[in-house]
Amino acid sequence: MSECASCQKSDASKLCSKCRLVSYCDANCQSAHWKDHKPECIPEVVKGIVIPCDGDKRTQGPAIFRAVDVPRSHPVHREGHSTPVPKKVGIPLPDRHPRPSDEVYERAPLDNQITTYLMIEPFNGLAPLHYLLGGNKIIGTVTVIRADHKPLTTQEIETVWMYIDQILDIFGDSDSQARAQMTKPKFRQFCERYKEQEIANGRGEFQGLQLPIGSS
């Protein structure tokens, strides 16, 4: 028996089913304490994605995405940067990148175009200026998870990336038309088309892509 995080009674026998770290007397106590507990309610392991920078692709292989187990100790959980366009269409994806080091790479190999796309601002299609220094991106390799801690798949993150790529193409012609694409229905339509396209191209792994993204 442990102390209830809500009412402090000493005979709490129910663990939070998500993080398995906090005890409660019952569902009522858990509900009453959820607002306080939510920021710290992190599963022991979350299924996330690593997006390698150019330098790591050279040394670790050319894979665009790598599925990884992200432990609750990983800084992405508390220090991750919000991805603006995905958040706008209902799938917030915190990401975390290490501080770049000139001792590890020259600046150019730290380029990470996919992450730059994920970080564009909805109003102008540009990533924040601190992603750039002297004309060279200094992002490095990035770890991405879903804000709700549900598994994130390579097919999901690829679809989001390609959705933003389409939006950036539209920004080149019309800012207002690009912003009009940033709605949940438009995102859902794009995902359906992209899934069909990739299956038709022989990529059977997209059969398992659950739509709408963000609800699985």
pLDDT band at 134 (very low <50, low <70, confident <90, very high): very low
Q: Is the pLDDT of residue 88 over 50?
A: yes
The mean of the pLDDT values for the chain is 88
What's the half-sphere exposure (Cβ side, CA atoms, 13 Å) at 136? Answer: 14
Poorest-confidence range of 86-95, 102-111, 119-128?
Answer: 102-111
Tens digit of pLDDT for each residue in 28-48?
Answer: 999 999 999 998 899 999 999
- pLDDT bin (cut points 50, 70, 90) of residue 132 is low
Distance CA 194, CA 190 (A): 6
Rounded Cα–Cα distance for residues 189 and 187 (Å): 5
Rg of the chain, C-alpha, whole Å: 20
- If we measure between CA atoms, which residue out of 115, 197, 208 comes closest to residue 164? 115
Q: Is 132 exposed, middle or buried (0-12, 13-18, 19+ CB in 10 A)?
A: middle
- The residue extents of the domains of the chain are 1-41, 45-208
Greater confidence (120 vs 103) lies with 120
Using one digit for the tens of pLDDT, what is the confidence trace for 166-212? 999 999 899 999 999 999 999 999 999 999 999 999 999 999 999 99
- For residues 140 and 64, the model is more confident at 64
The pLDDT value given to residue 131: 61
Supply the pTM of this predicted model.
Answer: 0.87
